[in-house]
Amino acid sequence: MVRPTWEDYSKCIHCGLCLNACPTYRLLGVEPDSPRGRIHQMILVEEGRLKLADSFVRHIDLCLDCRACETACPSGVQYGKLVEAARAQIEQHHRRPLFSRLLRSLGLRHLLFSLEINNADRPFGADSPVASFGTDARRLRIVEVVFVARQHGVW
């Protein structure tokens, strides 16, 4: 994986035009769970001004990696490249809590993605801010995000 450069991070001009495109921002309504907020945290971690600890990990974990923010960004931020680098950093330098490690080792993610949710089982209604975000697999990812959010006490 190619490590992002300062030029990659600095393309974000904090305009906020990506916010409405981001399902986690629309769902949770907080800046640290927006593309702009996550990029800001990545920069702080790169500069050593924010610890690569639970808070940062939680906000990066909650990102769906859907890249809707890339499409909306007028500045050409390659968000996918940035979040993948952040995730690689986390896996290399952060020891997750035991419960989280257990879930991952049990392959919950693969189990979730192997299930199918039909329309009647959708976790969110048609008016939900996340209803328009794609495939069943993506909705399952959202279920996973909600699970992680609850696990970390977001609500």
Residue 47: what residue type? E
Which of 22-30, 52-60, 88-96, 97-105 is the region at the interface with ligand SF4 (rule: CB under 6 A)?
22-30
- Give the x-and-dash track for 102-141 against ligand SF4 (CB under 6 A): ----------------------------------------
d(CA 18, CA 93): 29
Shortest spacing between CB 66 and ligand SF4, in angstroms: 4
**Residue written as token pair 């769902």:** 27
* Member of 4, 8, 18, 42 binding ligand SF4 (CB under 6 A): 18
**Residue written as token pair 């949770």:** 28
* Member of 28, 38, 45, 57 binding ligand SF4 (CB under 6 A): 38
Size of the residue set binding ligand SF4 (CB under 6 A)? 26
Q: Which residues contact 28 (CB under 8 A, 6 or more apart)?
A: 62, 149, 154
- Token pair of 145, please? 């995000």
For ligand SF4, the binding residues in 83-102 under the rule CB under 6 A are none
- Give the x-and-dash track for 55-74 against ligand SF4 (CB under 6 A): --------xxxxxxx--xx-
**Residue 71 CA neighbour count, 13 Å, CB half:** 7
Do 56 and 5 meet the contact criterion of CB atoms below 8 Å apart? no
Do 111 and 28 meet the contact criterion of CB atoms below 8 Å apart? no
67 vs 152, which CB is nearer to ligand SF4?
Answer: 67
Per DSSP, the three-state class of 42 is helix
Shortest spacing between CB 83 and ligand SF4, in angstroms: 6
By CB under 6 A, name the binding residues for ligand SF4.
12-18, 21-24, 35-36, 38, 63-69, 72-73, 75, 77, 79
